[in-house]
Amino acid sequence: MPLRGKSRLRQNALAAFLHAIPLALVLATPSTASGQQRAATPSGIAPNAAACHDPAGWNIACLRARYSGPAAGWPAPTIDAGVQWHEWAPVPPVADPPMQWTAANPGQAELAADVARPPVVALGQMLFFDTRLSRKGQISCASCHQPQRAFTDGLPLAVGEDKLMGRRRSTPLYAAPFAPRLFWDGRAASLKEQVMGPLHDPREMNHDAAGAVARLRETDIYPARFLDAFGGATAASSPATGSASSTVAPASSAAGSTASASASASASASASASASAAMIPTAQAPAASTTASAIDADRLARALAAYVASLRPEKTRFDEFLAGRADALDDNELLGLHLFRTQARCMNCHNGPLLTDHQFHNIGLSFYGRRNQDLGRYEATRDPADLGRFRTPSLRNVAQAGPWMHNGLFPDLRGLLRMYNAGMGRDAPPADPPDPYAPRKSEHIKPLDLSPAEIDALLAFLKTL
Ligand code: HEC
Ligand code: HEC
């Protein structure tokens, strides 16, 4: 997918790369994006986007009228044949767990119960912000997943303990409670499976579960917190360090959540369920070792997973608009919303309550054959159909989440929108003999023919999310 004009860029020169982007985009787009030189009056737009558009330009009063009621009555979005999509909707509250948490999925039933118990979520939150989880105590989960940045870190590529740099950007965490598969490439199937990942990763927290558990057991605060959250000694409890890791599945969950979890209406019901599930030993053991052995790696993973599962995006004017307050968006933002759903084709992938389909797509950012190549989902599945595919990120609170994309390629959203407008990068030209590994861009990514004013409107809309 060569992004034209960038072939000499190297990952180890990313800063220079990022500075070069706005210029590179301008240079890259003349043939496909003539619309950028046009005034704000588009021509040749798709028929259903033409509603409310006449030779004088966009008729905002008409748009206001068409988007005045509930979403069911809005103009139909531009969706390609065969795409399963869901209408935008409020993000389900913590007390109303998503479908994939239900009993149909046994592991997730435990998560659903944990999320409904404030002591578990509060413990997960403490752990999420605690640098003691990393080997040298330098970083916590929150170093890379900062609440005020939609749980990202503002860096193109994550930086772990001892400043070791990872190869991808820290993911925003708002989609994590709802995603059937986690990470940019979907290699983890559950939050609990995911949480131990960062703990072990030498480029992240550089630790191991037994070491982290031993350290938590020595603290003044955690033994009592684990006891409070999960009850007495763990099934495989041993007085000291060793056994903890044996109880852990390859788990790495992410747990982060704003204070939302405590609001769960079902807290009391699940709290009693959990109390009966935990075997609380009777009093013959010395209190200190009983409380210390309430900590093990499985519970550490559960608490972190519960915190992450309780995270919800900050509510914005977009939510007010969805709730029927038509004046929550100004004219430009409303036009951006309309374009997002129609001519700009974004709804093909950024749909549903989180503005993601939770699917994997190749939008042309795999840098195939270059030093910073990342083949995404293919690296987890080795299925050629997955070459260059990444998971669609949630766009909730997206303006706070930059730099954007799996590799932090775009330092500003306008540049990103210009790139979408140009149809993203080009695929590698057909080779002779054909290269079976050359990633192919999604058929849903096409040049959009948006004018600069329309790109401004889209940008204004993204900032309301
Ligand atoms: C050094 C920075 C760093 C630290 C520390 C870190 N993460 Fe991450 N996190 C990342 C990166 C980078 C990704 C994306 C990796 C990928 O997709 O390959 C990620 C992805 C995730 C995801 C997946 C989200 C999704 O929707 O796919 C979750 C959940 C998560 N982290 C939770 C945690 C938790 C919990 C901790 C602490 C135990 C933690 N992270 C520590 C950088 C970090
Ligand atoms: C074919 C599906 C698809 C379509 C259509 C699509 N996107 Fe995306 N979008 C993705 C995927 C996949 C990613 C992540 C790609 C990566 O990191 O390599 C992404 C990433 C983004 C990001 C970066 C978010 C972040 O946190 O890094 C933004 C912003 C975005 N898209 C906005 C849009 C807008 C605006 C449109 C319409 C102009 C659009 N997208 C159309 C699939 C799509």
DSSP output for 35-59: GGGS-S---S--GGG-TTEETTEE-
Q: Output DSSP code: residue 371.
A: T
User: Atom 41, ligand 2: which residue's CA is nearest?
Assistant: 346
Q: Which pLDDT value is given to residue 330? A: 97
Q: Which pLDDT value is given to residue 259? A: 35
Q: Is 344 in the pocket of ligand 2 (CB under 6 A)?
A: yes
Q: Is 420 in the pocket of ligand 2 (CB under 6 A)?
A: yes
368 band by pLDDT with thresholds 50, 70 and 90: very high
pLDDT surpasses 80 at 152: yes
19 band by pLDDT with thresholds 50, 70 and 90: very low
Higher pLDDT: 243 or 209? It is: 209
pLDDT surpasses 70 at 405: yes
Vertex 448 angle, CA 462 and 316, to 5°: 10
- Per-residue 3-state assignment (H helix, E strand, C coil) for 448-465: CCCCHHHHHHHHHHHCCC
Q: Which ligand is nearest to the CA of 204?
A: 1
User: Of 382, 14, 394, 351, whose CA–CA distance to 184 is shortest?
Assistant: 394
Question: What is the tens place of the pLDDT at every residue in 351-360?
Answer: 999 999 999 9
- Tell me the average pLDDT across 170-179: 94
Residue matched to tokens 């977009």: 318
Closest ligand 1 atom to the C-alpha of 153? 2
- Tell me the average pLDDT across 126-147: 95
Q: Is 441 in the pocket of ligand 2 (CB under 6 A)?
A: no
Q: Which ligand is nearest to the CA of 398?
A: 2
107 band by pLDDT with thresholds 50, 70 and 90: confident
Q: Which pLDDT value is given to residue 287? A: 56
Range from 137-146, 193-202, 391-400, 413-422 carrying the lowest mean pLDDT? 193-202
Question: What is the tens place of the pLDDT at every residue in 315-324?
Answer: 999 999 999 9
C-alpha to C-alpha distance for 203 and 139, rounded to whole angstroms: 11
Q: How far is the CA of 254 from the centre of ligand 1 (A)?
A: 7
C-alpha to C-alpha distance for 186 and 170, rounded to whole angstroms: 14
C-alpha to C-alpha distance for 120 and 148, rounded to whole angstroms: 23
Which among 173, 350, 358, 424 is the best mutation to test ligand 2's pocket, defined by most ligand atoms within 8 Å of the CB? 350
* Both tokens assigned to 75: 């103009």
Q: Which pLDDT value is given to residue 199? A: 86
Question: What is the tens place of the pLDDT at every residue in 153-174?
Answer: 999 999 888 888 889 999 999 9
Q: Which pLDDT value is given to residue 104? A: 67
Q: Is 21 in the pocket of ligand 2 (CB under 6 A)?
A: no
Distances (CA, A) of 47 to 52, 73, 458: 11, 18, 19
Residue matched to tokens 């999310």: 465
Q: Which pLDDT value is given to residue 201? A: 87
Q: Which residues form ligand 1's pocket by a CB distance below 6 Å?
A: 128, 133, 139, 141, 143-145, 158-160, 166, 168, 170-171, 173, 175-176, 179, 182-185, 191, 194-195, 198-199, 204-205, 253-255, 304, 308
Q: Which pLDDT value is given to residue 25? A: 42
**Long-range CB contacts for residues 94-97, cutoff 8 Å, separation at least 24:** 94/257, 94/260, 94/261, 94/263, 94/264, 94/309, 94/310, 94/312, 95/263, 95/264, 95/265, 95/266
pLDDT above 70 covers a percentage of the chain that reads 75
Q: Which pLDDT value is given to residue 357? A: 96
Burial 122-145 (b: 16+ CB within 10 A, else e): bbbbebbbbeebbbeeebbbbbbb
Question: What is the tens place of the pLDDT at every residue in 45-90?
Answer: 444 445 799 888 999 999 999 999 889 899 999 999 999 999 999 9
Higher pLDDT: 195 or 37? It is: 195
User: Atom 15, ligand 1: which residue's CA is nearest?
Assistant: 183
Read off the amino acid at residue 66: R
Closest ligand 2 atom to the C-alpha of 184? 17
240 band by pLDDT with thresholds 50, 70 and 90: very low
Classify 361 as helix, strand or coil: strand
- Tell me the average pLDDT across 450-461: 98
102 band by pLDDT with thresholds 50, 70 and 90: low
pLDDT surpasses 90 at 430: no
Q: Is 398 in the pocket of ligand 2 (CB under 6 A)?
A: yes
* Both tokens assigned to 144: 């890379």
Residue matched to tokens 């170093």: 143
Can you point out the beta strands (E) in 292-393? 360-361, 390-391
* Both tokens assigned to 249: 């599945």
C-alpha to C-alpha distance for 167 and 185, rounded to whole angstroms: 12
Contacts of residue 283, Cβ cutoff 8 Å, sequence gap at least 6:
none
Residue matched to tokens 């007390």: 95
Distances (CA, A) of 297 to 17, 99, 301, 362: 41, 27, 6, 36
Q: Could you tell me which residues are beta bridge partners of residue 182?
A: 188
pLDDT surpasses 50 at 245: no
Average pLDDT value for the chain: 80
Classify 389 as helix, strand or coil: strand
pLDDT surpasses 90 at 456: yes
Classify 24 as helix, strand or coil: helix
37 band by pLDDT with thresholds 50, 70 and 90: very low
pLDDT surpasses 50 at 16: no
Q: Is the dihedral of CA 97, 70, 51, 30 positive or negative?
A: negative
